[in-house]
Structure 1
Amino acid sequence: MGVRKVVSSWKNNVFFGGASIVALLATSSGAYAQTGPADDTRTIIVTATKRASTVQDVPFSINAQTEADIQRSGAVTIEDLSRNVAGLTVQNLGPGQSQVAVRGVSAGQIIRDQPGVKEQVGVYLDESVISLSLFTPDLDLFDLSRVETLRGPQGTLFGSGSVGGTIRYITNQPDLDTVEGLVEGNVNLVDGDDFGGHLKGAINVPLVEGVAAVRVVGYHTEYGGFINALREDGDIDEDVNDGRRTGGRIALTVQPTPDISITPRVVYQEIRSNGFNRQEVYNLYANRFTDPTVPGGREPVVFDERQQFLLLNEDFADDTLILDNVLEWNFGAAALTSVTSYIDRDILVSRDASALTGSVSVDLGFPTAGVMLPSNLVDTTDLQTFTQEIRLASQTTGPFQWLIGGFYSDVERLYSQRLPTPGYDAFTDAVLGAGTSAAVANGFGPDSPYNADLPYDIKQKALFGEASYDLTDRLTATAGLRYYDFKEERRFTSGGLFANGDDQIDETKSDGFSPRLLLSYEASDNVTFNAQASKGFRLGGVNDPLNETLCSADDEATYGGFDRYDDETLWNYEAGVKSQFAGITFNAAAFYTDIKNLQVTADAGSCSSRVVFNADAHTMGVEVELSARPAEGLDLSVAGSLIEAEFDETQLKANGDILEGIREGNRLPSVPNFQVAASAYYTVPVSSTMDAFAGITFQHVGSRFTQPGDQENNPRTFVHGLPFGGAPATAATTLDLKLPDYQLVNISAGVEMANGLEIVAYINNLFDENTLLSFDRERGGRARLGFSTNQPRTFGLTVRKGF
């Protein structure tokens, strides 16, 4: 196939196939040549309804970004993808830590020590559910067939955790008949002073043609850092947040008969980061109030962009093992699918908590040496998940189609916290009385003022079904229902000076139904109208006890009464249109979501605790996605969403103040009102064997709030109240907690050869925008204030060769 025909074929796939946002250009890669006849690549097949269908035929709002789209956009994380998908937002909380929201259904920032809070968006790797609240798996996007974003609650087919929507990573499966592969290398320069890059490869080999094949994928990425850390001795360590990601997967497909297919798979990935993308504004040890002439003081510090203060190095690690097996058996009128999966994840978040511990030590009257002790907060998560799904689906071609199934999962999650602070017990006993540290240890080790173990055991059983019927040649009705039954058991044990010495066992149970009704009307061969009403569900839970020894009287009175939080439910109502004509694809949807008992997350101020409580809310808005080819070689696309996400009630504290921003009409957190992405891409043949291309992408993300309470009394003045290092007790920092909107521009250019070789040069974040992604606070601002920020301007070169 000639190179011009290859590029044309790829464009037909992208721009006429119905993928919502298409060919978002321009970062670390260009188009990967897709072979095959043009007519065979005009339609993108998805499995959002657990049966094969085209994007345009799915009777609800869905986005599907193909492998070519992902390569073209240069996306390497789900956050990169989110900026290009209407209605999808991701709140960046540091490496491997993010919260995903769809259509504005968001309850606020979940913090690392809230393991009981469940996710609002379900995440799947093919058929296997891999969701985990806060720690959304940061999977490498190499060798994916597509990423599907299903908007609105997907409780019928995908269960709890899909209350706002579902994201599905669909990998390329072993091909029984073809030897093929892809090799990709990259080098990049971050912020002008730190190099990164990656090497990735995939190969597919038939073992017995038509009967068995294996597909092997491997990758290694080095991330350049861009955060600089001030140290106690006045030195500056540069690029402390660099890291790496290494992993791969092996899938084997065996098809002993044309009707039976078995695909076992192993997926393994390691992530390591040497720090966090936090730029600080205030730190107990480094701030503009300190005086070098007093104990613990230093020259006043005004932090630059992408700068923080550390006494200790920080680390993040995530080791993920996924074992799954998919059995498919087609026996004529119906097909049976069995999905068995096991996940083992070990996650470490190691943070410099010296400022947090030191702020408590100031309150306790410790001497300067005790306040300055390095203190390391170590959070660990040990997760084992087993799931089994079996479903039976019709295979006939008549007007009536059906699917029934059952689901079981057993999740064991052990979350632990330790605060090793060498030498702390001696200061504790000297200030508070001999034997105090041993008396409050509650069986935990020495020199750790806070310790907690939280083992969770969550079991779920569900039955589900969905059926559709063609009422006329153009009108189809679909109805679905899921019955769910959850049981969660949790034990909370704590010890140390900052803890209460708790040891309690709690249980949460819930069962119910999640229905869905859809109508799809094919007005013409090119235009379809859809309507839907569907219910979503998220399991409630139990709040951890407040750290009462750290709480001010006001904070203890305000947050001490929230022992439990109820199940979150919502009803989603939507109507949409999907159309294709004259080289244009236009998809749009309008929606309204009524949320009952939204599980709102709040920072309990000086307690260094978080609580969850319930509030009613709604979201409403529109999503629009458009792609067109106005001239030969020129491809344009735009996708955007306009969302109103607000509370429907007001809740008050005992003193009459608004409780954590829960005021009727206040915005739900982390979600912009307006988000849009646009791209332009131009291809021109320069010879019979080579094409040249260039592209530009523009992304706008509107203003947001990290937590709902951030919009009250904003700009906010944080009175630090800690007379340490020369700072007066009245020292205060005023910040605007409304995260400003930001714009990112990426450009790329390269060449594509007929032999499958591709070379792309790119610049990400062309104008070096320093975006504020989330607000970071420790102990209500008494210890530390800062923001998570994005990667600065990056220059890169990618070389890719397919065969």
Structure 2
Amino acid sequence: MKFTKLHCAVLAALAASGSINAEEIKQKPKASIETIEVTATKRSESIQEVPVTVTALTGDSLEKLGVSNFDQYVEFLPNVVFQGTGPGQNEIYIRGAATTQTNISVSSVQALQPSVAFYLDEQPVSMQGRNLDIYATDVERIEVLPGPQGTLFGASSQSGTVRLITNKPTHDGFAAGFDTSTSFTKGGDMSNSVEAYFNMSLTDNLAIRVAAYNDHQGGWIDNIQNDPSNGGYTGSAVVIDRISAGFSKLADPENTPVQIPQNDALVEDDFNTADYSGARFGLSYIINNEWDLLVQHTQQSLDTEGVFSYDPNLDGETSTNRFTPENNNDDFGLTTWTLEGRLEHLTVVYTGGYLDRDINSTIDYTGYTNGGQFSAYYVCNYASAPDAQECFDPTKFYKEETSSSRTTHELRMNTAAENRWRVTAGVFYDTQDLSTVGQFKIANTELFPNLARELAGSEGINSNGGPFSSEVSFVNDVTHTIDQIAVFGQFEYDITDTVTASFGARWYQIDDIYKGSTTTADVSGRLRAFGDGSDAALTEFFGADEAAAIQAAIASGQLETDLLDSNGKLTVDDTIIKTSIDWQVNDDVMVFASYSEGFRPPVTNRVGGGSAANQEGAFEGFRIPVYSTTDSLDNVELGFKSTLFDQSLRFNATAYYSKISDLQTSRYDPTNISFLVFTDNVGDAEIKGIDGDFSWVATDNLIISGAFSLIDTELTSINAQLDGIAPPEGSRLPYSAKFSGNLQAQYFYPISGDMTGYVNGSISYTGERLAGMVMDAYMIEDATNLIYGTGSGLSIEKESDVYSGVNYQDTNGETFAGGRYIQDSYILANISFGVTNDEWKAEFFIDNLTDESAILYVDTQQYTPKVVSNRPRTIGFRFSYDFY
């Protein structure tokens, strides 16, 4: 099998910047590294001649890596971090510019815009909270551009851009091929996949290409029977009581019985499966000698069941307790078109695309009992006499139905590449529409059989005309539209034959229209009131007393509302720049320096202006921002690219310094502020680092390659209202290791005739990382002990003597310290053996050779830690065949 999911292949691209195939070794007297053409600057150039940091990997190189899923690919990303809870539920960060992202259960409703842009060919496919997870089949190459790329690639390119470039229809005749694989995971189910493509020239001017795939990834996580005597879920009235609003406190939480949830009917081994299926259709039409048209359509279905994390409080590292059947169905159709030609001395490109995506999910939300603001009210008969109080079944769920679409158009022009001066200029238009209905069961139906109906009105109808289920107690029902227009350009000038300077800029305007409601809040009306800003409008919506307090908060600068108009629409515009200079020292070495700017636009909050329920300490006078403000990243880097020793060694390295202002983060603090997620600006940060990669053809039969990343991140200032909640000044940003690196080796040897054997090996190291942007680990660990009767066993880095995010004490009467969970360092190794010729390849592989259980991500979104880990040792066989 050549490729797996997009995120797997994307991150693998960082492992190496070049490759060589067995045929080249046999035919050349001296093996050399192949030249890779990239379009990182929206021109086709050799990767070694582009004066920016860019890593690219060809489709052949992806195949030679010999790995087949995310758990292995993730180890070849020393300057990239991929964090999340499973397929289709992840977010990418580059060069340490990471923060806490929104809980996946509400990512469609309230999430930050991504800081890394995803492109499929010319089409941006990024999405807030849930990047499009495109299965990478029949790929020409993958390009990864670290650092701000906003002048050419727009808003979500704040810290980098990833582009998956597919194979296009060719006019050279017929070609076809297929890949298939079967593998067995230790303690898990079998996985298998098949991929196929064919290319056909129908006429001299018309060609088609079709690629199809089906990949079943077997599970290895077991949903075991809940056993309170062995680390299972027991529940705790103390936890429920202490995070509840004051009016719903239990009289005697230590002695209040808690009903233990049951999951007997859901017990299942290896229940975390993922299935990718889809196809891509391409048509290329040569209009005349100067113009051609490409149209492609990709259709994919991603279906997952179960969860991809284990409960560390249970025995082993593959067990969990879940109480609601979980699934995620993610379907999309993407149609793209590119018209390219020449007008006199200009190359003209018009490209566009239409993306239609539907997500349907069910998520176990039982953990909300451990952190909901009114937990005792929702699950306990707190109003009864003290000796009769009881907490009922805490089992909860969340169901989501989300439909989104994205339409883009870009028209750009390039002058001739041979000119001493060169210009790329264009205009870009983008409109994104998202409609989502999320239904939560957060209240026990014995106590509240029709809560959502009662709160929404007697009919219990949502704005889309659908009735609320009797089990549903809270609903998000919103639409979100983002319109963007931008004008961009880049000018390059050859000062001498070896020195080139460039300058680029992008002006943009983004309109953000957020409409809808929750069960308890009119989001549209709230934003219109803030946009109007008059006493009358605020008083009509909030009431006289609250309106006066809000006016005072606006006047003092505590609340910003200037970006909203009277209809509640948020508009932001600005200009960002990028400039660079490069020197071609000789034919083999180039050095370059650059300055670039990136940004993420503001994010509107559903409950902006709301005050904290707890008005003590850090929360005294606190109000939720109406919107998080733009966070910007300014980057300076100095790098070199070299191809040495008669093209046998490629070594590239870049040193960089980035400054982030008003770093956006997601906040979920139902204890003190709001039971709805919102976004905020945590403060400022600095990032310093060095990236490097090399590929060395050591002999005609041996290729060694590797990559490394050194990153030093630091929060340099903290929003005063997050003091004691977020890590203090001087702390590290989350998820990025100080050092990561990998080594790969490929050894080829002749067998007989036209057959060549090979051995591929790789080893990677990832240093320890910190989880999240909130110092709540000690609080969560205390809750874990109360709920399960045992701790998680995870390491914690203490960062403060006092955590201000809670207004209660721990079980020993001591104030909670502040700290974050540590995602421990780990080493992974893979090996494969194969035989190949010009047409076929057969390979035996072992992934995760030492059966290491790595902590890829610590998920604390349900108030006890869940650990996302890699797939255990997997042994399998791959076979591919190409027809020409």
- TM bracket, shorter-chain basis: 0.7 to 0.9
Give the whole-Å Cα distance in 1 for the aligned partners of 2:357 and 2:494: 44
Check whether the contact 1:362–1:724 (CA below 8 A) recurs between aligned residues.
no
Give the whole-Å Cα distance in 1 for the aligned partners of 2:759 and 2:714: 41
Check whether the contact 1:701–1:742 (CA below 8 A) recurs between aligned residues.
yes
Q: Which secondary structure does the structure 1 equivalent of 2:447 belong to? A: helix
Shift of 1:79: 7.1
1:794 aligns with 2:871: no
Q: Which secondary structure does the structure 1 equivalent of 2:860 belong to? A: strand
Shift of 1:548: 8.9
Structure 2, unaligned stretches of length 5 or more? 1-12, 226-261, 382-388, 528-567, 792-808
Give the whole-Å Cα distance in 2 for the aligned partners of 1:239 and 1:551: 42
In the alignment, which residue of structure 1 is the partner of 2:181? 186
* Pairing 1:642-661 to 2, within 5 Å after superposition: 642-653=710-721, 658-661=724-727
CA 1:669–1:271 in structure 2 vs 1: closer, same or farther (change >3 Å)? same
Give the whole-Å Cα distance in 2 for the aligned partners of 1:56 and 1:609: 48
* Pairing 1:221-620 to 2, within 5 Å after superposition: 221-231=215-225, 232=262, 236-281=267-312, 302-357=314-369, 363-364=376-377, 366=380, 371-372=392-393, 374-395=395-416, 397-420=418-441, 424-428=444-448, 445=468, 446-495=470-519, 499=520, 504=525, 505=527, 506-545=568-607, 560-582=623-645, 583-606=648-671, 607-614=674-681, 615-620=683-688
Q: Which whole-Å deviations, capped at 9, do the CAs of 1:250-285 have from their partners, x for residues lacking one?
A: 000000212111011110110000112121246xxx
CA 1:31–1:376 in structure 2 vs 1: closer, same or farther (change >3 Å)? farther
Check whether the contact 1:222–1:243 (CA below 8 A) recurs between aligned residues.
yes
Match of 1:70 among 62, 71, 75: 62
Q: Which whole-Å deviations, capped at 9, do the CAs of 1:578-602 have from their partners, x for residues lacking one?
A: 0011111000000001111111223
Amino acid at match of 2:606: D
In the alignment, which residue of structure 1 is the partner of 2:852? 769
Q: Which whole-Å deviations, capped at 9, do the CAs of 1:143-172 have from their partners, x for residues lacking one?
A: 101110011111111010000010000001
Give the whole-Å Cα distance in 2 for the aligned partners of 1:725 and 1:703: 27
Which of 594-603 and 681-690 deviates more? 594-603
CA 1:401–1:81 in structure 2 vs 1: closer, same or farther (change >3 Å)? farther
Give the whole-Å Cα distance in 2 for the aligned partners of 1:373 and 1:362: 9
Give the whole-Å Cα distance in 1 for the aligned partners of 2:625 and 2:72: 36
In the alignment, which residue of structure 1 is the partner of 2:248? none
In the alignment, which residue of structure 2 is the partner of 1:749? 833
In the alignment, which residue of structure 2 is the partner of 1:622? 690
Give the whole-Å Cα distance in 2 for the aligned partners of 1:335 and 1:630: 41
Shift of 1:462: 0.4
Shift of 1:429: 6.9
1:199 aligns with 2:194: yes
CA 1:35–1:462 in structure 2 vs 1: closer, same or farther (change >3 Å)? farther
Check whether the contact 1:192–1:794 (CA below 8 A) recurs between aligned residues.
no
Shift of 1:180: 1.4
Q: Which whole-Å deviations, capped at 9, do the CAs of 1:99-131 have from their partners, x for residues lacking one?
A: 111111112233222444101000100001111
Q: Which whole-Å deviations, capped at 9, do the CAs of 1:363-410 have from their partners, x for residues lacking one?
A: 126269973264320123211111000001112522111111000011
Shift of 1:672: 1.5
Check whether the contact 2:745–2:761 (CA below 8 A) recurs between aligned residues.
yes
Check whether the contact 1:32–1:758 (CA below 8 A) recurs between aligned residues.
no
CA 1:78–1:764 in structure 2 vs 1: closer, same or farther (change >3 Å)? closer
Q: Which secondary structure does the structure 2 equivalent of 1:453 belong to? A: strand
Give the whole-Å Cα distance in 2 for the aligned partners of 1:434 and 1:748: 58
Aligned residues: 747
In the alignment, which residue of structure 1 is the partner of 2:753? 688
Q: Which whole-Å deviations, capped at 9, do the CAs of 1:705-733 have from their partners, x for residues lacking one?
A: 221224x7769643369789999x97799
Check whether the contact 1:429–1:437 (CA below 8 A) recurs between aligned residues.
no
Give the whole-Å Cα distance in 2 for the aligned partners of 1:511 and 1:383: 24
CA 1:720–1:697 in structure 2 vs 1: closer, same or farther (change >3 Å)? closer
Structure 1, unaligned stretches of length 5 or more? 1-18, 283-301
Give the whole-Å Cα distance in 1 for the aligned partners of 2:325 and 2:840: 42
Shift of 1:233: 5.6
CA 1:74–1:345 in structure 2 vs 1: closer, same or farther (change >3 Å)? farther
Shift of 1:744: 1.0
Give the whole-Å Cα distance in 2 for the aligned partners of 1:108 and 1:714: 18
Match of 2:767 among 702, 712, 716: 702
Give the whole-Å Cα distance in 2 for the aligned partners of 1:71 and 1:119: 29
Q: Which secondary structure does the structure 2 equivalent of 1:718 belong to? A: helix
Give the whole-Å Cα distance in 2 for the aligned partners of 1:714 and 1:326: 53
Give the whole-Å Cα distance in 2 for the aligned partners of 1:37 and 1:341: 42
CA 1:644–1:198 in structure 2 vs 1: closer, same or farther (change >3 Å)? same
Shift of 1:687: 1.0
The structure that is strand-richer by fraction is 1
Q: Which secondary structure does the structure 2 equivalent of 1:371 belong to? A: coil
Aligned-residue CA RMSD in angstroms?
A: 3.4
1:22 aligns with 2:16: yes
CA 1:37–1:483 in structure 2 vs 1: closer, same or farther (change >3 Å)? farther
Amino acid at match of 1:352: D
CA 1:647–1:533 in structure 2 vs 1: closer, same or farther (change >3 Å)? same
Give the whole-Å Cα distance in 2 for the aligned partners of 1:534 and 1:310: 46
Give the whole-Å Cα distance in 1 for the aligned partners of 2:676 and 2:23: 52
Amino acid at match of 1:791: R
Amino acid at match of 1:737: Y
Give the whole-Å Cα distance in 2 for the aligned partners of 1:642 and 1:726: 36
Check whether the contact 1:23–1:69 (CA below 8 A) recurs between aligned residues.
no
Q: Which secondary structure does the structure 2 equivalent of 1:157 belong to? A: helix
Q: Which secondary structure does the structure 2 equivalent of 1:708 belong to? A: coil
Check whether the contact 1:176–1:212 (CA below 8 A) recurs between aligned residues.
yes
Q: Which secondary structure does the structure 2 equivalent of 1:119 belong to? A: coil
Give the whole-Å Cα distance in 1 for the aligned partners of 2:638 and 2:303: 43
Q: Which secondary structure does the structure 2 equivalent of 1:530 belong to? A: strand
Check whether the contact 2:297–2:334 (CA below 8 A) recurs between aligned residues.
yes
Amino acid at match of 1:670: Y
Shift of 1:234: 5.1
In the alignment, which residue of structure 2 is the partner of 1:151? 146
In the alignment, which residue of structure 1 is the partner of 2:843? 760
Q: Which secondary structure does the structure 1 equivalent of 2:311 belong to? A: strand
CA 1:334–1:768 in structure 2 vs 1: closer, same or farther (change >3 Å)? same
Which of 350-359 and 714-723 deviates more? 714-723
Q: Which secondary structure does the structure 1 equivalent of 2:368 belong to? A: helix
Amino acid at match of 2:292: S
In the alignment, which residue of structure 2 is the partner of 1:119? 114
TM-score between both structures, scaled by the size of structure 1:
0.86
In the alignment, which residue of structure 1 is the partner of 2:93? 101
CA 1:381–1:477 in structure 2 vs 1: closer, same or farther (change >3 Å)? same
CA 1:325–1:702 in structure 2 vs 1: closer, same or farther (change >3 Å)? same
Check whether the contact 1:492–1:544 (CA below 8 A) recurs between aligned residues.
no
Shift of 1:24: 9.6
TM-score between both structures, scaled by the size of structure 2:
0.79
CA 1:726–1:243 in structure 2 vs 1: closer, same or farther (change >3 Å)? closer
In the alignment, which residue of structure 2 is the partner of 1:49? 41
Amino acid at match of 2:825: D
Give the whole-Å Cα distance in 2 for the aligned partners of 1:507 and 1:303: 51
Amino acid at match of 2:131: T
CA 1:553–1:715 in structure 2 vs 1: closer, same or farther (change >3 Å)? closer
1:718 aligns with 2:782: yes
Amino acid at match of 1:319: D
